[in-house]
Structure 1
Amino acid sequence: MKDYAEAVAFLGEWGCFQQTVFFLLCASIVPNGFGSFNLVFLTDTPSHHCVVPGINLTEDWRENIIPITVVNGKQELSSCSRYRLDVVRNLSAQGYIPGKDINLTDLEQEGCLDGWSYSKDIYQSTVVSHFDLVCSEQWKQPFTSTVFFVGVLFGSFFSGFLSDRYGRKPVLFATMATQTIFTFAQVFSTSWIVFVILLFINGLGQISNYVAALVLGAEVLTGNMRVLYSSLGTNLGFAIGYMILPLFAYFLRDWKSLLLALSVPCLTYIPLWWVLPESPRWLLSQGRVEEADAIVRKAAEWNKVQAPRVIFEDCSIKKTKSQKKHYTVLDLFRHSSIRSTTLLLCLVFFTLTAGYYSLSYNTSQLHADPYISCFISAVVEVPAYFSSWIALRYLPRRLSVIAALILGAVPLFLIQLLPEYLSSLSLVLEMLSKYSITTGFSLMFAYTTELYPTVIRNTATGMTTTVSRMGSCISPFLLSLSAYFKYLPYITLGTLGVVSAFAALFLPESFKRPLPETIQQMHERKRIKCPCITRDGTSAPVELLDGPV
């Protein structure tokens, strides 16, 4: 039987059919861009202090009833305490003047028994101000993000298996629906617990939608268009959503309005069900030759080319029996060669994901205006995605990933060597590191889809993505290490980068090689033949391993 790309070569690489699939799938990824980072605004903590009820106090006491604390060397109003109201009321009634007749540091303090007053300079309301996730409840704010990432982790794990079992298209639209419905439902949360439960379910569909769209496009498109889609197309779709987020958040400063604005437009994706096809590669792997044939013939009509009488020669004879087997995540560890590749990919992907989210959330604090800082963080990704596309088109995958890891790690080590007055140079180094890590992060999605055969491609992508999501879950804890030593997060991420770069040396290469269709082809592609001299002095081809076995 011919290779799939060879069998459908008569369609060309960039006809009407391929253009439609390319742009519609890229558009389906846009919600992932703002969905992955909307918590930056939803869970931001506005400036706040204790509410002072309308009791009879002099103006001097009303202005000084909130204690002054020192935070990072700056004096600020206390966020979680006030001077005892009964004491202040008595002192005010007796005519004592704060700071003159009374030393304020001698007064007893109490918590915010009447609630908090939140600044509306930046936000009208956030989840934090709505549910009072401050002071003794402050732990709920980072925990909210953790719940979301745990949902993403579970979604990545199960969606890969479901996609290989039931098809790319059903999982794509099911996860898009999950993402849309539960983002909308969060608006009506009656408590923080309800909000995080809905957020967890929302997370199940977030990256699952991205992975399903990535694999579907990578299997439908061929040649340079597949590389362009897997690297630049999908990532620019994500970046567009990321850049839209601060724009929406700037004009809609209420958390409920922002969620509505991010969810309702996604209803426009419903008609895509009747336009986007199922993956012909996946249909062939399941022995559903007639359905794959019908999709390709429809594509030929769209591209206005003549399809051959038989497109997938001998496929029904050789494929139907062997491909009825259903593969699970265990098949990624059953054979030593696949197991080694999976473990190495998990390590590299974990490092890049931890670095990507740590630097993304850290850069959001680099400017006083969160809208500007979020936009800058998003814009940096655009040149990174172009770099990953160029690397995927012209450079070996393994070399590109190693270079991205090293170039991402070195600036993180250099930051700690700079004096504090060169803060601008530190910012440049951190942006350089994010650029490199984002490039590598983008490369890994395309690299992973190229290494595994059709029958377990989505399972493998889901598995490696699941492990990588653990990196996003620990990123808030990595950033918190700065409380012990300012540069400890940078050192940790840099060390992980160097270790992963060494591990990547043992990954197989997939540059300029066709996508494998079966497990056997994945084994075979790891071996390259070279002429070597035998003991009798003659030349003979000998198999060398290209990657772990």
Structure 2
Amino acid sequence: MSDFDEATSFLGDYGAFQNLIIVLLGLSAIPCGYMSVIVVFVSDTPEHHCKVWSNSTISGAHVEPPFHERSSWIGPDSCSRYKVRANWTVPVELANSTEECVDGWFYSTERYTATIVSEWDLVCDNAWKVPFSTSLFFVGALFGSFISGHLSDRFGRKPVFFFTLVFTPVTALIQATSFSWVMFCFFNCLKGVGMISNYLTSLILGAEMLSDSARVSYTFLGHSLGYGLGYALLPLFAYFIRGWRMLLVASAIPGLLLVPTWWLIPESPRWLLQKGRVDEAELVIRNAAKRNRVAVPEVLFKAGEMSVAMVFHGLALNTSNLNGNIYLNCFIYAAIDIVMYIATWLLVNRAPRPIVLFSSMMFCGIMLLIIMLVPDDMHLMFQVLGLLGRIGVSAAYSFMFLFFPELFPTVVRTMGVGVNSTGARLGTILSPYVIYLGVFSKILPYLIFGTFSIIAAVFSMLLPDTRNCQLLDLISQLPLLLSKGNSYSPDAYD
């Protein structure tokens, strides 16, 4: 088989076809941007305290002061209250000894009308269920990373992409009807399967249809930027939709609106060629040439990461532990991501790939570890250093989706990226529990994330440099890439 990039060079880099692919697949990443962190609002814990009942319950009513007018007489903390005296009166008389919140909790509705925490009392002894439900999303993402790679390498990128494009929002709609925490967790896991499968498959589908130059633009200004825009839209949705059920319903709509793009996005011609479906691959290229208004040659083809993802998602989920407005904090993190995607796109070809990954992760790690030296009362400094750390990991996270597909040949590209993403999901599964440690000490999550960032930076230097290299098609081409780096050309195997 002749070299794919050479055979399709007549299409150019940025014709109407390439621009359409970049825009449509970039739009498909928007739902992924908010699906992975929507838990920040859906599972947030409102302020709460024990309910205190009086003898007015005889008539079916109870006495409860307005939330912000309550006083310390209710109890020493949100998980206990002073015991009610035997001779109940109005107002309620309380003893000095304490007891559990036997009558349940009263939740503030200032920020949310309802979250899963207030819906099913996931506080105090049941507080562990909150990070557990979040981890199950990433457990689903782990399985999705592994399964989607095998399926798309076997059945094609396009069928898997569109199936998961529908599967994810449908799962969110069903999750919005959950009548129990167990049902919510089950569909949260399925949603993780669909989200990561769609995200990875769209990445590979676009990368395999575009030239080297257009692929870089697609990775940062299409795919990653779409993800960042989705993340930025989340606090806007959550601000106007304060109930968790309707927020999930709203999150499902954008994905379903993209279903008609089935008739605009073709199958990967690289994958079709590797499967021996030469006529179908030629049809894709000829349709692209028609859209670009260029002539087609008579004959086209001859027959013949674990730590980066944990830190990235961990810092995003840590929004609820930061001081200040949760909606503003979420938007600032999203804005940082968008700026870094553009900055990384501008700088990506100016240095070897391993150096870029090493520098961004090392910067992130150092910023997060410096937090250990900040006094507890300096909240602003905590936030500034955390945001600086986010800058480094955002650059690294977006860069991975350009770098890692370049390391695998077409025949196993989706599976290879999927296996890599599977390892990353192991880190993201743990990230909610790392965040939960922030309840006891604000420093601990940053210490753990900073340490893993530095470890990831060190190991990134072991990877080969794929800058200015063409995408590999066959496994037999891997040794040449490892030995020659930038001088690699598939022509050596023709």
Same fold (TM over 0.5): yes
Cross-structure match for 2:23: 23
Q: Which secondary structure state, in structure 1, belongs to the residue aligned with residue 86 of structure 2?
A: helix
How far has the Cα of 1:112 moved from its partner? 2.9
Pair 275,119 (structure 1): closer, same or farther in 2 beyond 3 Å: same
- d(CA) in 1 for partners of 2:267 and 2:369? 46
How far has the Cα of 1:60 moved from its partner? 11
Counterpart mapping for 1:2-151 below 5 A: 2-53=2-53, 55-56=55-56, 67-69=74-76, 78-87=77-86, 89=88, 92=89, 107-151=96-140
Letter in 1 for 2:445: P
How far has the Cα of 1:38 moved from its partner? 0.6
Q: Is the 1:173–1:273 Cα contact (8 Å) retained in structure 2?
A: yes
Q: Which runs of 5+ in 2 are unaligned?
A: 489-494
- d(CA) in 2 for partners of 1:194 and 1:31? 22
- d(CA) in 2 for partners of 1:194 and 1:413? 39
Q: For residues 478-534 of structure 1, give each alpha carbon's deviation from its aligned partner in whole angstroms, at most 9, with x where no partner exists.
A: 33445676534333333323332222222111000100000011222222299xxxx
Match of 1:185 among 174, 183, 194: 174
**Range with greater deviation from structure 2 (279-288 or 479-488):** 479-488
Instruction: Identify which of structures 1 and 2 has the higher relative contact order when contacts are C-alpha pairs closer than 8 Å and 6+ apart.
Output: 2
2:257 is equivalent to residue 268 of structure 1: yes
Cross-structure match for 1:240: 229
Cross-structure match for 1:303: 292
- d(CA) in 2 for partners of 1:305 and 1:409? 49
Q: Is the 2:405–2:417 Cα contact (8 Å) retained in structure 1?
A: yes
Match of 2:185 among 196, 211, 214: 196
How far has the Cα of 1:431 moved from its partner? 1.1
**Range with greater deviation from structure 2 (496-505 or 208-217):** 496-505
Q: For residues 84-111 of structure 1, give each alpha carbon's deviation from its aligned partner in whole angstroms, at most 9, with x where no partner exists.
A: 345260xx47x9x96xxxxx6x533333
Letter in 1 for 2:385: L
Counterpart mapping for 1:85-484 below 5 A: 85-87=84-86, 89=88, 92=89, 107-312=96-301, 314=302, 316=303, 318=304, 349-420=305-376, 422-481=378-437
Pair 455,245 (structure 1): closer, same or farther in 2 beyond 3 Å: same
Larger Rg: 1
Pair 119,283 (structure 1): closer, same or farther in 2 beyond 3 Å: same
Q: For residues 179-232 of structure 1, give each alpha carbon's deviation from its aligned partner in whole angstroms, at most 9, with x where no partner exists.
A: 011001112111111111111111111111110000000000112111111223
Pair 480,61 (structure 1): closer, same or farther in 2 beyond 3 Å: closer
Aligned residues: 479
Q: Is the 1:224–1:393 Cα contact (8 Å) retained in structure 2?
A: no
Q: Is the 2:50–2:81 Cα contact (8 Å) retained in structure 1?
A: yes
- d(CA) in 2 for partners of 1:86 and 1:408? 55
TM-score, normalization by structure 2: 0.91
Q: Which secondary structure state, in structure 2, belongs to the residue aligned with residue 84 of structure 1?
A: strand
Identity of aligned residues (%): 39
Q: Is the 1:232–1:388 Cα contact (8 Å) retained in structure 2?
A: no
Pair 30,21 (structure 1): closer, same or farther in 2 beyond 3 Å: same
- d(CA) in 2 for partners of 1:479 and 1:190? 27
- d(CA) in 2 for partners of 1:265 and 1:61? 41
Pair 25,138 (structure 1): closer, same or farther in 2 beyond 3 Å: same
**Range with greater deviation from structure 2 (372-381 or 483-492):** 483-492
How far has the Cα of 1:41 moved from its partner? 0.5
Pair 251,64 (structure 1): closer, same or farther in 2 beyond 3 Å: closer
Pair 200,454 (structure 1): closer, same or farther in 2 beyond 3 Å: same
Q: For residues 30-81 of structure 1, give each alpha carbon's deviation from its aligned partner in whole angstroms, at most 9, with x where no partner exists.
A: 0001101111000011112233345249x99976695342xxxxxxxx3233
How far has the Cα of 1:448 moved from its partner? 0.5
How far has the Cα of 1:404 moved from its partner? 1.0
TM-score, normalization by structure 1: 0.82
Pair 185,206 (structure 1): closer, same or farther in 2 beyond 3 Å: same
Q: Which secondary structure state, in structure 1, belongs to the residue aligned with residue 36 of structure 2?
A: helix
Pair 88,519 (structure 1): closer, same or farther in 2 beyond 3 Å: farther
